[in-house]
Amino acid sequence: MTWTPTSLSTANIDSTADNVASGLAEIKLVVDRVNELSAHPSTAMTTAMPLVGNTVVQYASTSLSTYTQSGGGSSGVAGASAANTIPADNTIPQDSEGLTVTSLAFTPKSSTSKLIIEVTGYFYLYATGGTGATVGILTVTKSGSTNAIGTSIVGSITDASSASIENGGLKVVETSGSTSVRTYTVRMGPGSANAAFGVLATNGGTSAVFGGTMALNLTITEIL
């Protein structure tokens, strides 16, 4: 067998050399970045990891751990007035209806972020006289607007002898719109004057249960 050598293409050699050089350049960039992270970890990480979708920017919370009641019922209890109802009809609940339970001031970091406002707690709804069904209503309002931005029903009763204990709350998601401070307020009330709606109640009593550990919580999470 006779071997006949073939000529080598300089183009192939040049192409291979370019690929090697490109690979070495990329390796150098990685090494330089690692050195930067080691020398300036805080600054480097801020530069290398910009905020991306669903990143939590900030979080704030407050809680209520004392017995509070809206609507009629036990005398001497804050909010125990038949005037503190939230009508169970097809109108938007107002910031003048129900009883203020708790509130939280919040300043967004971005005007385009999403704010998640959540309320959780245990509630007690019971009849105080009269007849007819009604419900316990929970709302969230925001400073600068009279309309509630979120509403939920937590518990219901069917007659004058009914009572309801519920674990409930509500969740509102909105765009921040600006970086101005605003206050979110939780309000609660029975749907009619023949009932009382309480948080942290025990059988219509006037004291909290479990030493205040079963609290109503208001949390705000800002995400991008």
**Is 186 contained in some domain?**
yes
Q: What is the C-alpha R_g of the chain?
A: 31
Closest to 101 measured CA to CA, from 198, 17, 29: 198
Is pLDDT at 158 greater than 90 in this prediction? Answer: no
Give the residue numbers spanning the domain of 18. 10-48
Q: How far apart are CA 86 and CA 92, in angstroms?
A: 10
Task: Pick 72 or 136 by higher pLDDT.
Answer: 136
> Cβ neighbours of residue 35 under 8 Å, at least 6 residues apart?
none
Q: How many domains does the chain have?
A: 2
Q: Which of 66-70, 144-148, 150-154 has the lowest mean pLDDT?
A: 66-70
Looking at the fold, whether 81 and 15 belong to one and the same domain comes out as no
Across the beta sheet with 134-142, the strand order is 99-106, 182-190, 134-142, 148-157
Coil/strand/helix, residue 111: coil
Closest to 119 measured CA to CA, from 134, 97, 98, 104: 104
Looking at the fold, whether 124 and 22 belong to one and the same domain comes out as no
Q: Which of 124-128, 133-137, 150-154 has the lowest mean pLDDT?
A: 124-128
pTM of the shown model: 0.71
**Is 14 contained in some domain?**
yes
Q: How far apart are CA 50 and CA 57, in angstroms?
A: 12
**Is 4 contained in some domain?**
no
Q: How far apart are CA 190 and CA 173, in angstroms?
A: 24
Looking at the fold, whether 109 and 207 belong to one and the same domain comes out as yes
Closest to 139 measured CA to CA, from 176, 67, 187: 187
Q: What CATH number does residue 145 fall under?
A: 2.60.120.1340
Q: How confident is the model over 9-38, as pLDDT tens digits? A: 555 555 555 666 666 677 776 667 667 666
Looking at the fold, whether 36 and 75 belong to one and the same domain comes out as no
Looking at the fold, whether 167 and 95 belong to one and the same domain comes out as yes
**Is 2 contained in some domain?**
no
Neighbours of 128 (CB within 10 A): 17
Q: How confident is the model over 183-215, as pLDDT tens digits? A: 999 999 988 887 888 886 554 555 667 777 788
| Type of residue numbered 20 | V
Looking at the fold, whether 93 and 187 belong to one and the same domain comes out as yes
Looking at the fold, whether 74 and 160 belong to one and the same domain comes out as yes
Distance of CA 194 to the CA centre of its chain: 32
Looking at the fold, whether 23 and 89 belong to one and the same domain comes out as no
Looking at the fold, whether 31 and 71 belong to one and the same domain comes out as no
**Is 5 contained in some domain?**
no
Q: How confident is the model over 73-88, as pLDDT tens digits? A: 554 444 445 568 899 9
Looking at the fold, whether 43 and 117 belong to one and the same domain comes out as no
> Cβ neighbours of residue 5 under 8 Å, at least 6 residues apart?
none
Q: How confident is the model over 49-60, as pLDDT tens digits? A: 455 567 999 999
As beta bridge partners, residue 139 has 151, 187
**Is 169 contained in some domain?**
yes
Looking at the fold, whether 171 and 195 belong to one and the same domain comes out as yes
